[in-house]
Amino acid sequence: MESKLSSILVIILIAVIAATSFWLKLEVNKELFSEKSLVTSGPDFYLKKFLLKQTTESGNIKFILEADRMENYEYLNKTYLNNPKFTKYENKYPYSWISGNRGEITNMGDEIIVRENVRLVRLATPTKKEMKLYTNSLNILPKIDVVFTKSPVKIIQEPNIEINGIGMKYDKKENTFKLLSNVKVHYEKINN
């Protein structure tokens, strides 16, 4: 009698475990389906004519980031931009700007990536001529004033210097500009 009772108890325990396992499997599948539908859905929010200004502690503009359209995907922790333009300011005036066809903001705004037909223009100053840089992808770290790429770059320095290379890093705080490899310089002497 005692062995029958213990056998029945074991069977009931196995049935409860099986029912619980089946229920857990259904809940996990339901949650998985719910997450997949979130991933395939549209952005959490979007803005047309997106404009972001960051200022210094004294209230001067540090940079402006603008785009024709901004789409934020919270589950990816990313924001996508159409036709972004990043304008860096120095002494209350625009110093340089970066534009491209597509962009992305990641790491809670710590990194901005501009892609496709990227153009960086450092505006002329009293001591420097205008410089233009062309590449396919450019990463901007605005908090630490660093811009870099691993892609091929072409630099046009007015009036007659062309520089090509692969990879570039510009660190404003250290005041360094490095081309990383395969550097070729073409210089034309202008006769006066």
Q: What is the pLDDT of residues 75-109, one digit of tens each?
A: 778 899 999 999 999 888 898 999 999 999 988 88
Q: Over 90: is that where the pLDDT of 68 sits? A: yes
- CA dist., res. 72 & res. 77, Å (int): 8
Terminal-to-terminal C-alpha distance of the chain? 116
| CATH 2.60.450.10 is the classification of domain 45-187 | yes
- Give residue 137's pLDDT band: very low, low, confident or very high (50, 70, 90): very high
pLDDT of residue 56: 87
- Give me the DSSP letters along 25-70: HHHHHHHHHHHHHHHHS--SEEEEEEEEEEE-TTS-EEEEEEEEEE
Burial of 140 (0-12, 13-18, 19+ CB in 10 A): buried
How high is the pLDDT of residue 167?
Answer: 93
149, burial (CB in 10 Å: exposed 0-12, middle 13-18, buried 19+): buried
Query: Is residue 39 over pLDDT 90?
Result: no
Q: What is the pLDDT of residues 164-182, one digit of tens each?
A: 999 999 988 888 889 889 8
Q: How confident is the model at residue 36 (pLDDT cuts 50, 70, 90)?
A: low
Q: Specify the pLDDT at position 22.
A: 84
| 192 band by pLDDT with thresholds 50, 70 and 90 | low
Average pLDDT value for the chain: 86
